[in-house]
Amino acid sequence: MQRRRHSRGGDDFLLHGRPLECTIMGRVIRGQRKGAGSVFKAHVKHRKGPAKLRAVDFAERHGYIKGIVKLNIGNVLPVGTMPEGTIVCCLEEKPGDRGKLARASGNYATVISHNPETKKSRVKLPSGSKKVVSSANRAIVGVVAGGGRIDKPILKAGRAYHKYKAKRNCWPRVRGVAMNPVEHPFGGGNHQHIGKPSTIRRDAPAGRKVGLIAARRTGRLRGTKTVQEKEN
């Protein structure tokens, strides 16, 4: 695989016609926290073209990248060439989509098994679910840097402000019972209370469809709950 640039200054694209044992040469300039999910990325400078940002492993260091693509931390390989139990990240969902799965900070996927006949591989995603993907899908060997980010409590509103300022307009969130009756179905009253059943039918109009939508059950959870893992 070899990187080429479009003629009009677009993004890089990968040529699939070259053999896997190609020679690459580049240098990791520096690592910095940048991008969605607070992921650490490396500024990689290749011999041809401008520097590019890519996700880095927490064990990756500065230095040169050269030689045949091997099963080392930070290298990109097809899933089918990796042994079972390999920890990968930035996994492609379809061949050539540049990575869609296991991309957040500290996340990784695990290669479970391969099927040479169908050219499919089975991976375990960060959510715990198993997924069958093509063995030609590429992935980065290792774990995405920045793990443990959500372990530290936010503690104050200023940190939450800066956190969501870089993401989307979803903070602060005003409760419905704290609003006026013209602004929310649960608003109004001499004290903050819902004042009506919080469950609502599935086909309710848009202005009324708030609360527990089409709830399967109501009330508190009582007793012990046994969890059985499905063996697939």
Full pLDDT tens readout for the chain, 232 residues:
444 555 454 444 444 444 444 444 555 555 665 555 555 666 665 655 666 666 655 455 544 444 457 888 888 889 999 999 999 999 999 988 889 999 999 999 999 999 999 999 999 999 999 999 999 999 999 999 999 988 999 999 999 999 999 999 999 999 999 999 999 999 999 999 999 999 999 999 999 999 999 999 998 888 776 666 655 5
**How is the chain split into domains, by residue range?**
68-141
Name the fold adopted by 68-141.
SH3 type barrels. (2.30.30)
Gap between the Cα atoms of 201 and 208, Å rounded: 10
Structure tokens at 33: 């926290």
pTM above 0.75, yes or no: no
**147-151 — which CB contacts under 8 Å span 24+ positions?**
147/58, 147/105, 147/106, 148/106, 149/38, 149/105, 149/106
